Every structure is written in C-alpha cells, then in structure tokens.
Structure 1
C-alpha cells in the first residue's frame, strides 16, 4: 500500500529585479517514489510549476547547501529559522523561496519515517528496460 504526505505552506517568492510575490508551496512525498520530493508552486490557487528533487537534498539543505540542477536547498543567509530553496527553471528566471525550518524538518522526518534511508526498494530494472524498449508504453 502506498502512503502519500503533503505539506502546503504560504511564503514569498523572490525573483531578482521583481517585487516579492506571495505564493503557496506544496511539498509532497510518497513511498512509491522514495528518493524524491515534489515541490509545487501555486499562485492564486492555480498550480504554476512543479519540481522534483532528491529527498536527501532537502534533508541536507537544513544544514548546508545541497542540490544540483534546477533545485538547491540551503540554510537562510541570515535567519536561522528559515531554509531557502533556490529554483532555476530552464524556461524562466531563477527565484528563491524561504520556508520555516521547523516545518521542513518535520516534513523530512515524516518522509524518513515512511521510508528510512537504506530501506528504499530497488527499482525493477527489467520492467524499466522493457518500458524503454517498448517506447515508454
């Protein structure tokens, strides 16, 4: 049976050169994809963008800069109660969102309780290869 957890958080998105904008952020985790966290941005109750990144980046980003590619996570530069997530989408300007550190810590702990590190199931490589060879069907 698959377990899924979500956290919705309202915060401000900071885009360099633009005024701050209030957005809602949803963090999602499911044991069906135990290595990844989903981050969805909502503006005016409409989903605008979704990013998937490694669960360990979120956990490590509570203490030090972590991540690669589109998503980087790090402690806030001056406020210890915040965690900054920097998003660099390929088709838009980079921006940052700040989330409450305690809330993110609780979310990471919940994800690690659902699927502890080292307990992640191995992918079914034969099924993945078959799907690729079958044109992704």
Structure 2
C-alpha cells in the first residue's frame, strides 16, 4: 500500500494572479506526516511564477467542509451546494480558491483509509522528530 496520496483538483481562482481563472492544484497527504495536508499550485498560477505549496492540518480541511474553520494563514469554509473556499493569506496578498467539495471529500476519505482520524499518533516516528528538533537546537 502506498504511503502517499496525491490527488489533482481543479481550483477556481477568485483573488490574486487574476490572469488565470481555473488552475490545476494538487492535494497531497503523506502517512509519515499524518496530521498535515499539502496543497500545491503550479508556477503559472502564482504572482512570483514559482510553484507554491501550502501546508495545513487535515482536521482544518475536514472542518471547513461544514463550517468556517481557521484563523491564521489558511482558512476554509463551505460555499454553496458543492464548493469549498480555501483562503491563503501571505504577506504578498491573499489567494482565494474554490474547490468542489466532492473532490475534497474523496481526498479526505482516501487519507482516512491510509491513516484513520484519531490514530495519527501511531504513524509518527517520534524518535526521528525528536532528533530533528535537537539537531535544529544546536
């Protein structure tokens, strides 16, 4: 069984980089980092013309399907019948994208099959994480 899920999604750009209405993005989940989700946008969709990857919690993405979630750089909320809004706040500006809620649900279902919600701690390599923290502290 694969330890990584990468699912392409179509994101409809609402703000920032106005030259592009619809952009291909990728939602990614790695069992070795079980609490995190990554959403990557290709270079042509960004103001700096470089690929951009946002990392946020799987819990935030799931909560945002049903109600407004997030207070920091990433915020998620439902929009209409089958859309979810993701807001990405950075010093350079804010990007707002709409993604079909069904695509997000399928992605979250797949991540749940890989690492069930509530059992993320069983997939963490605490020794490796501690070693990285200690290395960075020196």
- The reply to whether TM is greater than 0.5 is yes
Structure 2: runs of 5 or more not aligned? none
Distance in 2 (CA, whole Å) between partners of 1:85 and 1:6 is 18
Q: Which one of 49, 67, 70 corresponds to residue 52 of structure 2?
A: 49
Q: 1:40 deviation in Å? A: 0.3
Q: State the secondary structure of the residue aligned to 1:94.
A: strand
1:112-123 residue pairs with structure 2 within 5 A? 112-121=112-121, 123=124
Q: Structure 1: which 4+ aligned runs deviate by more than 2 Å?
A: 16-22, 43-48, 121-137
Alpha-carbon distance in 2 for matches of 1:136, 1:8: 37
Q: Mind listing any 5+ residue stretches in structure 1 that lack a counterpart?
A: none
TM-superposed deviation, 1:74: 0.5
Aligned residue pair count: 134
* 1:24-43 pair list within 5 angstroms: 24-43=24-43
Q: Which moved more, 1:67-76 or 1:125-134?
A: 125-134
Who is 2:136 aligned against? 135
TM-score (norm. length: structure 1): 0.82
TM-score (norm 2): 0.81
The structure with the greater share of residues assigned to helix is 2
Q: Indicate how the Cα distance of structure 1 residues 136 and 29 shifts in structure 2: closer, same or farther if over 3 A, else same.
A: farther
Matches for 1:33-112 after TM superposition, within 5 Å:
33-44=33-44, 48-76=51-79, 79-90=80-91, 92-112=92-112
Higher relative contact order (CA 8 A, sep 6+): 2
Question: Any conservation in 1 of the 2:32–2:125 contact (CA below 8 Å)?
Answer: no
CA RMSD of superposed structures (Å): 2.7
